Structure 1
Amino acid sequence: MQGNENEHKVNATHKTEEKQNRVGILNKISFKKLTIYLASILILVVAIQKINGSKNSRVEQPLNIRVFALGKVQPTEYIRSIQYPMIYSSSRIKALYVKENQFIKKGDPLFSVEDRDESIYNMKSSRAKIIQQIAELESAKAKMLSSKTLRDFYRGQYKRYNFLRNQGAATYEQADEKETLYRATEQEYLSNQKLVETNKAKLKSAEWEYEANKFKSMLSVIKAPENGKVFKIYSRPGESINNGKAVMDVGNSNSMGILAEVNRADIENIKLGQAANITANGVPNLKWKGRVIEVSRQVTQQTVNSDDPAANLANRVFNVLIKLDNKSSLQAQNYNYMEVNILFEPNYSEK
């Protein structure tokens, strides 16, 4: 009996150990699976973060857009439209003293008007009138001085005889005669004094008239306001220049450029400093380069027409000013207002 009990105890012990081993193995297997699962999740999270980080750090490049536009050659600085000041009711050009593409200096005569002869005649007439008024003024002054001298003499006589009459040394008739002469010469003196003032006013008026005619005479020949170049002449001898009509355009040709007309749909692709290539129809050797220096934000009507009539139907455009490089600018001085083609490089090409 004791042997059987011992055997049962041994078997029970073995079973307990076997059970414990199974539980340990199961625990090890579960922990391994959990570790693998967690590691898989961690790897997935890291992968997602890398993907998101890659998306966030990616710099989107602008599309390779090449904008095309039409334009014309002109200076990048001032262009001055020369008009005739309307000091006469009617004016016509008498003579032109310059030609298109001619360089000019400040003060050079540009053109004259038909009113020039009239203004010179009026100036000479008013100058002669001044001379006449000066003579009349001097004559009036001489008369005034003479009448003043005579008036002073008879005033002294009147006072003397009036005193003598009061003393009984002269009659009333003698005193009255001297008083009458004094009163007459006093009136003559006052009249001559007024005549002097009248002649002074006439002389001043003649001087003003002369200055006005002299000014008109000077304006009858329009001169260059600054050094520059004649770009365009709009009016010829014999043509009327009323109502502020422009006669010619002058400007500084030292810095030539292109005024491009960019379609409003393309203006967002134009930036300051952007490179541009310029060509011209019919001039195969013309290949200029420049960069954008000004972008207008005011929409205007297209003025430069394409060879394709379908492209000219009420286009609304923005003006973009391009400054040419030194070599191109020098060549462009001989192509004022010529219509050209402009191809803008992509926005990022300038970087």
Structure 2
Amino acid sequence: MLTQKSAADEADAQNENITMDDKTTPDLPLSDPGLGTSKEQTTSKKSGWFKLYRIPLVMVFIFVGAVIGLYFQPPGVQAFFGLTGLQPGGGTDTPIAVAVQQVTTQEEVSVVSEGDVVALGRLIPRGDIVTVAPPFGASDARISEICVAVGDKVARGDTLAVLDNLAQLESDVATAQADVQVRDATLQQTKLNTRASLEEARAALQRAEATAAVTQTELDRTTSLLERGVTTRAVFDDAQARATEAIRDVEKSRATLSRYQASEGVLQADIAVAEANLEAARASLARSQLDLSKAYVRAPSDGTVLDIHVRPGEKPGSDGVLNLGNTNEMTVEVEVYQTLIGRVALGDPVTIFADALASDLLGSVSAIGLEIGRQTVTSDDPAANTDARVVDVIVTLDKASSDIASRFTNLEVVARIDAGRIE
């Protein structure tokens, strides 16, 4: 029994030795029963936790990089957007990384600015651009000569262009002037003839009255002789006939005299007709001289020639002859979105942005429209809303800004109105 027990103990001791040798000998194909923890297993656990820690670190780095890219927009990011045609903030309806200078739609206004009002507008001269058309009644006249060039300063009434109907209208004026001279000569002739006829009628009346007096005396004497039976009835009838004829000659002479003799305050009839004809000729001359102005295109006001639409030989169309504007005083026509107009007040300071401008322009709100209309200043985005409801706001620029803007009439700009900043 003791022998068997000692043999069993010896076998167990040998198995322990074998197990310990297996732990230290990697070449043996026996596996670790889990009685101990190796160094490799500890290292593997640490590596797994480190991988888990790297995930939030990578997310933080990505977020920081995105913020830096949106804020600074380095050349690499810009080149990427340039190659792909993508726009910053183009994938959302509420972009936050769009500069004020790049606002192109009225819908972006409320997103870009919470305290200010930002809107699209255009630079215009004070009073807007005047399209100078041919004179009324120019009909089919064509341009004969352009008297100005783009950029010329003109004053009210200056001749801008000459039409080809000038020769015909000048001929009409010459004809009217000759007619006036003829009518004036006729009046003078009528006055002389009337004066001579008046004197002649007076003399004829006096002669008729004298003849009538003689015949009446002879009739009275013949009547006396007939009553005494000294003369015959035939002699009496002859004397009576001569007396009656003399009376009729007197009436005729008086009637003739009245024709050439005017009453008090009333012109003699022939002279009145001649003077009326002269006035009619003068009126015709005035009309011809007025029509002569239809051959000239004149400046309706002081300003600068902005553009010329026709050349000599062409007939002006709906665009008129040229555009004129007072660029000495430039303004901005801003179209404020209808939901933001309540924040705008007269006198609010305004800053104007545009890529074409070397510096920002400064001004203030000088007028606010009373009517809500359709948007006219739009971006070149084919998907942009072109039926936005806006109110026109006029911004008057200061002198320095007006001088800069005078070369950029109709330039599309972005206006930022500092709403509520005035005291």
Provide the TM-score with structure 1 as the length reference.
0.68
Alignment partner, residue 288 of structure 1: 361
Alignment partner, residue 205 of structure 2: 155
Q: 1:287 to 1:227 in 2, by over 3 A?
A: same
Q: Is the 8 A contact 2:138 2:295 kept in 1?
A: no
**What is the CA-CA distance between 1:163 and the residue it aligns to?**
0.6
- What secondary structure, in the 3-state scheme, does the structure 2 residue paired with 1:319 have? strand
| Aligned sequence identity (%) | 22
Q: Is the 8 A contact 1:279 1:287 kept in 2?
A: yes
Any stretches of 5+ residues in structure 2 without a counterpart?
Answer: 1-112, 222-238, 262-267
Q: 1:235 to 1:263 in 2, by over 3 A?
A: farther
Q: Is the 8 A contact 2:136 2:294 kept in 1?
A: no
Segment of structure 1 superposing worse, 304-313 or 178-187: 178-187
Whole-Å separation in 2 of the counterparts to 1:112 and 1:103: 18
Alignment partner, residue 49 of structure 1: none
Whole-Å separation in 2 of the counterparts to 1:203 and 1:345: 66
Whole-Å separation in 2 of the counterparts to 1:237 and 1:188: 65
Q: How does 1:241-260 map to 2 (within 5 A)?
A: 246-260=320-334
Higher relative contact order (CA 8 A, sep 6+): 1
Q: How does 1:111-190 map to 2 (within 5 A)?
A: 111-168=161-218, 173=242, 176=245, 180=249, 183=252, 187=256, 190=259
Whole-Å separation in 2 of the counterparts to 1:65 and 1:230: 40
Q: Is the 8 A contact 1:151 1:182 kept in 2?
A: no
- What secondary structure, in the 3-state scheme, does the structure 2 residue paired with 1:306 have? coil
Match for 2:336 among 222, 245, 262? 262
Match for 1:199 among 274, 281, 301? 274
Q: How many residues in Structure 1 have an aligned counterpart in Structure 2?
A: 286
Q: How does 1:191-230 map to 2 (within 5 A)?
A: 194-230=269-305
Whole-Å separation in 2 of the counterparts to 1:263 and 1:234: 34
Whole-Å separation in 2 of the counterparts to 1:176 and 1:245: 82
Match for 2:398 among 306, 313, 325? 325
**What is the CA-CA distance between 1:334 and the residue it aligns to?**
1.4
Return the structure number with greater strand share.
Answer: 1
Q: Is the 8 A contact 2:142 2:316 kept in 1?
A: yes
- The residue type equivalent to 2:330 in the other structure is M
Alignment partner, residue 12 of structure 2: none
Q: 1:264 to 1:136 in 2, by over 3 A?
A: same
Whole-Å separation in 1 of the counterparts to 2:123 and 2:320: 19
Q: Is the 8 A contact 1:110 1:224 kept in 2?
A: yes
Provide Cα deviations, 1:140-187, integer angstroms capped at 9, x if missing partner: 222222222222112111100111111119955488379559837955
- What secondary structure, in the 3-state scheme, does the structure 2 residue paired with 1:143 have? helix
- What secondary structure, in the 3-state scheme, does the structure 2 residue paired with 1:168 have? helix
**What is the CA-CA distance between 1:188 and the residue it aligns to?**
9.3
Provide Cα deviations, 1:34-85, integer angstroms capped at 9, x if missing partner: xxxxxxxxxxxxxxxxxxxxxxxxxxxxx74454322211124565554444
Match for 1:272 among 339, 342, 346? 346
Q: 1:304 to 1:91 in 2, by over 3 A?
A: farther
Provide Cα deviations, 1:282-340, integer angstroms capped at 9, x if missing partner: x2625322222222231122222312122243222211112223221111111122x22
Q: How does 1:56-75 map to 2 (within 5 A)?
A: 64-75=114-125
Higher Rg of the two aligned structures = 2
Whole-Å separation in 2 of the counterparts to 1:239 and 1:317: 39
Any stretches of 5+ residues in structure 1 without a counterpart?
Answer: 1-62
Whole-Å separation in 2 of the counterparts to 1:183 and 1:225: 65
Match for 2:158 among 90, 97, 108? 108
Alignment partner, residue 371 of structure 2: 298
Match for 1:86 among 128, 136, 149? 136
- The residue type equivalent to 2:282 in the other structure is E
Q: Is the 8 A contact 1:92 1:241 kept in 2?
A: yes
- The residue type equivalent to 1:301 in the other structure is R
Q: RMSD of the alignment, in Å?
A: 3.5
Q: Is the 8 A contact 2:123 2:408 kept in 1?
A: yes
Q: Is the 8 A contact 1:154 1:182 kept in 2?
A: no
Q: 1:196 to 1:326 in 2, by over 3 A?
A: closer
- The residue type equivalent to 1:94 in the other structure is S
- The residue type equivalent to 2:326 in the other structure is N
Provide Cα deviations, 1:64-123, integer angstroms capped at 9, x if missing partner: 445432221112456555444424554444333223332112332123333333222111
**What is the CA-CA distance between 1:217 and the residue it aligns to?**
1.5
Whole-Å separation in 2 of the counterparts to 1:83 and 1:74: 19
- What secondary structure, in the 3-state scheme, does the structure 2 residue paired with 1:285 have? coil
Whole-Å separation in 1 of the counterparts to 2:274 and 2:115: 81
